[in-house]
Amino acid sequence: MHAVVANPKTIKAAAYNQARSILANAGSQTAAKSHPVHGKPDVPVSYGTSLLAAARDEFRQTDKHLPAKDKKSDMSIPHYNAIHSAAQTMGIDRW
């Protein structure tokens, strides 16, 4: 049995900014265009979940023509790893 951990209510601004950089460096235009958080210690978790969902959808669109053997969850392995690294950075389990 895998315990499902609820997402936090807020995430640290530094964690959001780091996750944003991970996704932008992996090629997410959405993340690259989003504004870094500054002047606040933390932000609502919805900022992070929205960022992850947008990057996921963008990566799936970008990677749709890759062979199935080169994909995980309908995106390239590097994109999949970037999404999960960003989620882990923010402490987000579900998006």
- Specify if 25 maps to a domain: yes
* Parent domain of 62: 10-90
Given a cut of 60, is residue 2 above it in pLDDT? Answer: no
Look at the pTM and tell me if it is higher than 0.75: yes
- Specify if 5 maps to a domain: no
Tell me the three-class secondary structure of the chain, residue by residue: CCCCCCCCCEEEHHHHHHHHHHHHHCCCHHHHHCCCCCCCCEEEHHHHHHHHHHHHHHHHHHCCCCCHHHEECCEEHHHHHHHHHHHHHHCCCCC
Counting the structural domains of the chain, the total is 1
pLDDT digits (tens, 9 = 90+) for 6-55: 788 999 999 999 999 999 999 999 999 999 999 999 999 999 999 999 99
Mean pLDDT lowest among 1-5, 25-29, 43-47, 87-91: 1-5
- Specify if 21 maps to a domain: yes
